């Protein structure tokens, strides 16, 4: 009986040892095989986890040591430790190899880069001059604390005329060749001044904002007229606002837009029903010193109409004119962009001509 047990144990022991030995070898081989095909750090990490991670196959084998007899432990303990250390070392070496490979590839890429190479068929997009100008205008006014406002192009008679102190039958309506629509009392806005009404009605002073946008007038189209063009409205309402604030704002804006260290402005009276007093603000011609075709030989360019918001307009928006005052302006954005970039035909803006757009 005793002999039988011994024989059985002996057989069992030999078997375990043989199995462990071949298991170790198998693991080494598969690891080597897998490391040879690894291409990225991510793949390498997957291999590491498969062998040495918590659930990895080498880790699993190591956890079997505790089930072995003393004798087996003596023999396989060190072998298994060695298996783990070698695996770690090989993985590390593969990692370094990968890093070196990448560095080499990057170097080669730099080396192959030919600055003189001709690359056919590459077309770059260009921002429309309107977009460029509006971005610049946004920057200038937001740096002065203004908000950017927006509103609809389809408007009511009240927002476009009535609230702006231009009641029905007022002769000033003749200045605006209006596109009326099928919906009674509704039109395509003839100016961006509608936005000052919308914001004064919905917000309490102090208020400061600009609103660039499209405007429509029933005009015959030629090089300097279009039925659709852009304006930019501006409004500031607070206590104790004066014309001085308006002039300084106009000067600062024009100076920055035309990139001049200093720029003279000139002020003339102008009539707009929604301001009192109203002004035409001119700037010194930015193209000449003694007179040219742009300034019609006068050295002054008319660019910036504005004035102090009329008390009737404040009242139409429920703002008390005895408490608050404000200034408004509404320059022709299209005209300013034409001046800024030397564009001589308004029709180019919507021509879709690449030759035109590619210049910006
Ligand atoms: N809305 C005017 C126009 O289209 C321009 C304008 C002039 C706007 C004076 C203003 C202003 O706010 O104060 O002709």
Q: What are the C-alpha distances in Å from 60 to residues 57, 102, 201, 328?
A: 5, 33, 75, 80
Higher pLDDT, 66 or 248: 248
Which residue puts its alpha carbon closest to atom 12 of ligand 1?
Answer: 329
State the distance from the centre of ligand 1 to the C-alpha of 200, rounded, in angstroms.
16
- Helices assigned H by DSSP within the chain: 2-37, 41-52, 57-62, 70-112, 129-143, 157-160, 194-202, 243-257, 311-316, 333-341, 354-357
Does the CB atom of residue 326 touch ligand 1 within 6 A? no
Q: Can you tell me the distance from the alpha carbon of 211 to that of 188, in angstroms, rounded to the nearest whole number? A: 16
Query: Which pair of structure tokens corresponds to residue 245?
Result: 């604030």
Q: Domain segments of the chain: what residues?
A: 2-111, 129-357
List CB contacts of 252: < 8 A, sequence separation 6 or more: 140, 144
Whether 330 lines ligand 1, by a CB cut-off of 6 Å, is yes
Q: How confident is the model at residue 21 (pLDDT cuts 50, 70, 90)?
A: confident
Q: Which of 6-15, 246-255, 281-290 shows the lowest per-residue confidence on average (mean pLDDT)?
A: 6-15
Mean pLDDT of 330-358: 94
Which atom from ligand 1 is nearest to the alpha carbon of 235? Answer: 12
pTM beyond cutoff 0.85: no
Contact in structure between 326 and 308 (CB atoms under 8 Å): yes
Residue 233 Cα, ligand 1 centroid: separation in angstroms? 7
Model confidence pLDDT, tens digit, residues 156-194: 999 999 999 999 988 888 889 999 999 999 999 999 999
Closest CA to ligand 1's atom 4: 191
**CB burial string 248-265: b at 16+ within 10 A, e below:** ebbbbbbbbbbeeeebeb
Say what the pLDDT of residue 336 is: 95
pLDDT in tens, 91-142: 999 999 999 999 999 999 989 888 888 888 877 889 999 999 999 999 999 9
Q: Quote the pLDDT of residue 298.
A: 95
**Separation between Cα atoms, residue 213 and residue 137, nearest integer Å:** 12
Average pLDDT score, the chain: 92
**How much of the chain is helix, strand and coil, in % rounded to 5?**
50, 20, 35
Please work out whether the CB of residue 232 comes within 6 Å of at least one atom of ligand 1.
no
Specify the residue with its C-alpha closest to ligand 1, atom 5: 330
pLDDT digits (tens, 9 = 90+) for 134-159: 999 999 999 999 999 999 999 999 99
pLDDT over threshold 90, residue 321: yes
190: CA distance to ligand 1 center in Å? 10
Atom of ligand 1 nearest to the CA of 327: 13
Residue 1 pLDDT > 80, yes or no? no
Provide mean pLDDT across the span 278-284. Answer: 97
311 or 125, which is more confident?
311
| Res. 291: pLDDT tops 80 | yes
According to DSSP, the residues that pair with 331 across neighbouring strands are 232
CA of 236 to the centre of ligand 1 (A): 14
Task: Check if 176 has its Cβ closer than 6 Å to any atom of ligand 1.
Answer: no
CA of 175, closest atom in ligand 1: 14
- In the chain, the percentage of residues whose pLDDT exceeds 90 is 81
**pLDDT score of 36:** 94
CA nearest to 329, candidates 259, 250, 268: 250
Q: CB atoms < 10 A from the CB of 145, how many?
A: 10
Q: What's the CA-to-centroid distance between 211 and ligand 1, angstroms?
A: 12
Strands 207-216 and 228-238: antiparallel
Q: Which fold has domain 129-357?
A: BirA Bifunctional Protein; domain 2 (3.30.930)
């Amino acid at each position: 009986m005793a002999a039988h047990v011994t024989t059985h144990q002996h057989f069992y022991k030999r078997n375990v040892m043989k199995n462990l030995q071949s298991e170790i070898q198998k693991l080494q081989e598969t690891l080597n095989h897998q490391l040879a095909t690894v291409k990225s750090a991510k793949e390498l990490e997957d291999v590491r986890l498969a062998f040495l991670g918590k659930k990895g196959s080498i880790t699993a084998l190591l956890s079997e040591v505790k089930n072995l007899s003393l004798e087996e432990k003596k023999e396989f303990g060190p072998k298994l430790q060695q298996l783990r250390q070698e695996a770690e070392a090989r993985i590390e070496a593969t990692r370094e190899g990968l890093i070196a490979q990448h560095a080499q590839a990057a170097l080669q890429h730099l080396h192959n880069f030919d600055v003189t190479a001709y690359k056919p068929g590459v077309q770059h997009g260009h921002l429309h001059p309107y977009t460029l100008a509006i971005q610049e205008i946004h920057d200038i006014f937001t740096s002065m604390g203004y908000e950017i406002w927006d509103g609809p192009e389809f408007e009511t008679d009240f927002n476009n005329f009535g609230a702006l102190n231009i009641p029905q039958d007022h002769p000033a309506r003749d200045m605006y060749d209006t596109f009326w629509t099928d919906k009674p009392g509704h039109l395509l806005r003839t100016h961006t001044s509608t936005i000052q009404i919308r914001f004064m009605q919905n917000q309490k002073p102090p208020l400061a904002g600009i609103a660039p946008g499209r405007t429509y007038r029933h005009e015959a189209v030629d090089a300097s007229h279009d039925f659709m063009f852009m304006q930019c409205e501006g409004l500031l309402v607070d206590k104790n606002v004066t014309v001085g604030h308006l002039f300084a704002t106009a000067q600062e804006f024009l100076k920055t837009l035309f990139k001049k260290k200093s720029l003279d402005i000139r002020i003339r009276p102008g009539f707009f029903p929604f301001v009192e007093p109203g002004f035409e603000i001119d700037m010194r011609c930015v193209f000449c010193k003694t007179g040219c075709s742009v300034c019609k030989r006068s050295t002054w360019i008319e660019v910036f109409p504005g004035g102090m918001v009329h008390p009737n307009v404040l009242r139409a928006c429920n703002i008390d004119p005895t408490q608050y005052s404000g200034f408004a302006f509404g320059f022709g954005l299209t005209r300013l962009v034409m001046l800024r970039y030397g564009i001589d035909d308004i029709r180019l803006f919507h021509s879709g001509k690449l030759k035109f757009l590619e210049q910006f």
